[in-house]
Structures are given as structure tokens and as C-alpha cells.
Amino acid sequence: MLTARFTTAVSQLALAVLLLAAIVRAQGTSSTTSAAASTSAASTSASSGTAASASSSSSSAKATATCNPYLQKCANADCAGSTLGSAATLVNSPNSSVYFYTGLPVFVNWSYTSDTDTTTFPSTSVVIYYKFADTSVTTWVKWLTVGAKDTSVSAVMTNAVARSYNIRVVPDDIDPTGLTGTIPSCYSTSFPRMGVNSFRLLTTRDLSVSSSDSFAPNSDSSGGIASMLTPAVLSMAVSVAVTAAAASAMLFGIADM
């Protein structure tokens, strides 16, 4: 009987040892898996950080690359040899010798001097501004934006009153004065300076048209020749005629002698 009990105890002890070994093995596997997962996560995080950093650097480099110092104000722009030349924009219309009417289209036309590199400039657009010609007014109104290759446009100056105006045609919206458009970092000698001109805007009230013709054909406001033939004038004319006839008869008589 003691032998049986001893055998049972040994069996239970062996089973406990096997269970403990299994538990230890399971915990070791879990720790290894967790450590591997942690290492993988850390590696992924580092990779993501590197990628994000690279992406940020790439975006920064791209942003810097897309800033054109000849069209924009760019940080750290290299403007070696940059000079604003004599190339210019010529505003042909409107000008001081013509006028337009309020509420009707104003025709704007321009050209460029021969030293302008028209194959390159303007490169993006042409912007048109206007303001009152009064020198005390310095605010320009941005009126129209057209294509880079356009050289004319016709449009209404909305809500503009009858008055004298100055107009500016600004290629690529670049203005070294800073009053209109942008002051870039660099200039090209073949870039056309903005063009300026003046004109007058009228209303139909500024024109006076007579309702009657003061120079109608066959008209004489003084009464014509008939009004000058008064009785006294007629009598004098008859007397002169009779005297002339008598003198003529006397001369013919002398001639016959």
C-alpha cells in the first residue's frame, strides 16, 4: 500500500515538473515575440521619421526651387549680374489725344520696344491698373489681367466717373516702384518696364449737339438781298440808270458828227 502511494506521488510530481517546464517555455516565447515586435516597431518608427525628414527636406528644396527671383521676392536669391535695362512697354491706347465714355468699353493696346525679349517676357500675364490723374491720388485700381502674349483688350471701367485718368500696363505684374504689382529679387535687362499713359473719360453730357442747323442751304438770317431793296434804294438805282442812259446817248450823238 505504501508502494502505491509513493508511485502516485512521483507521478504527480513529474506532471507538475512538466507543467512548470511548459509554462516557462511559453513565457520565453512570448518575451521573444514581444522583444521582436518592439524592435520592429522601433525600426518602423525610425524609418518613418527618416522618410518624413527626407520628405520635408524635399518639399523645402522644391519650394525654394519654384521661387523665381525674376518674378518674385525670393530668400537668398542669387542676382549676380542682375540689371534692369531700358526695355519698355509702350501704351498706344488710350492716350491723351483720345477720350472714351463712361459705361462703354475702353480700348487698351500696347507694344514693346525692340530690346525686349518677347520670347521670354512677359512670362505669366499682363496686369492693367488705373487711377485718377490727380497727383494727390496714389492708389491704383487693379483693373484687368490678361494673357502673357496679349497686346490689346477692351473692357468697361466699372463705376468709373467722368474724369482724367492714368493707366499702367504692367508685364508679369512686376513694378520696381512697388506702387503696383511686385518688386522681384532680380531683374533682366531684356524685361520690359511697365508702360504708363493718360486719357480722359467723358459722359454724353459733356457733348452739346445743336438741334437746328445754323448753316442750312439757301438761308439768310438777315433777309437776303430782297431785304436791302428799300424804296429809297430803288429810287436811287433808277436815277443812276437814267443818267447813264442819257450820257450814253450823248456820246453816240457826238460820234455820229
- State the pTM of this model: 0.56
CA-based nearest residue to 187, from 76, 83, 72? 83
CB 192 within 8 A of CB 171: yes
DSSP characters for 72-102? S--TT---TT----S-BEEEEES-TT-EEET
Q: Where are the domains of the chain?
A: 1-34, 89-206
By three-state DSSP, how is residue 124 classified?
A: coil
CB atoms within 10 A of CB 111: 16
CA-based nearest residue to 116, from 189, 169, 186, 194? 189
DSSP structure class, residue 204: G
Average pLDDT over residues 134-160: 95
Q: How far apart are CA 109 and CA 95, in angstroms?
A: 10
CB 156 within 8 A of CB 104: yes
Q: What is the pLDDT of residue 257?
A: 44
Q: Which residues of 95-108 are buried (b: 16+ CB within 10 A; e: fewer)?
A: eeeeebebeeebeb
CATH of domain 89-206: 2.60.40.10
pLDDT tens profile 5-64: 555 555 665 565 555 555 556 555 554 444 444 444 444 444 444 444 444 434 333 444
CB 113 within 8 A of CB 192: yes
pLDDT tens profile 205-231: 665 554 544 454 554 445 554 445 555
Q: Point out which residues pair with 200 in neighbouring strands.
A: 99, 164
pLDDT tens profile 48-95: 444 444 444 343 334 445 898 988 989 888 898 888 899 999 999 999
Average pLDDT over residues 197-203: 95
Q: How many residues does the chain have?
A: 257
Q: What is the pLDDT of residue 22?
A: 58
CB-facing half-sphere around the CA of 148: CA atoms within 13 A: 13
